[in-house]
Amino acid sequence: MAAGIYNFTIEQGTTFQRTFKYKDASGDPLDLTNHSVRMQIRSDKADKTTSFLHEFGSGSEFSTQGSGGLFIVSASVAGQAISVLDQFTLFISSSTTETMSFESAIYDIEIEDTGSIVTRLLQGKIKISKEVTR
């Protein structure tokens, strides 16, 4: 299945959270248990260097600029952690979005299972809505 295309805007200086559901072509949920999720944001596809703008990975927080973000593959209800098998949340802290200085960039989101099978889920463009209040 080809990666979906999803373009979105991040408001600079704010906390960004977006939940994605992973489903098959019939709309049935697909289990993300034992998968890692990763995302890179780059200036353009031709950039062949490893110098990307931001990178986010599953279960950890890391970034080449600022304090990063992470993917959350579980949720909580009334303070109890629960597993939501077909969804993940991209969380980018306000301190990271504050450092995002590009006007627009490209990204993709991939998952990898324990057998090292990599699937690209989404790709698209990201625009930054510049912050006024600082």
* Of the candidates 20, 27, 16, the residue with the CA atom closest to the CA atom of residue 6: 20
In whole angstroms, what is the distance from residue 106 CA to residue 125 CA? Answer: 4
Question: Residue 49: its pLDDT value, please?
Answer: 54
* Selected residue with higher pLDDT from 60 and 11: 11
In this predicted structure, the answer to whether residue 10 has a pLDDT above a threshold of 50 is yes
- On average, the pLDDT of the chain sits at 75
Q: What is the DSSP string of 95-120?
A: HHHHH---SEEEEEEEEE-TT--EEE
* Selected residue with higher pLDDT from 31 and 60: 31
List the single range of 8-12, 38-42, 74-78 with lowest mean pLDDT.
74-78
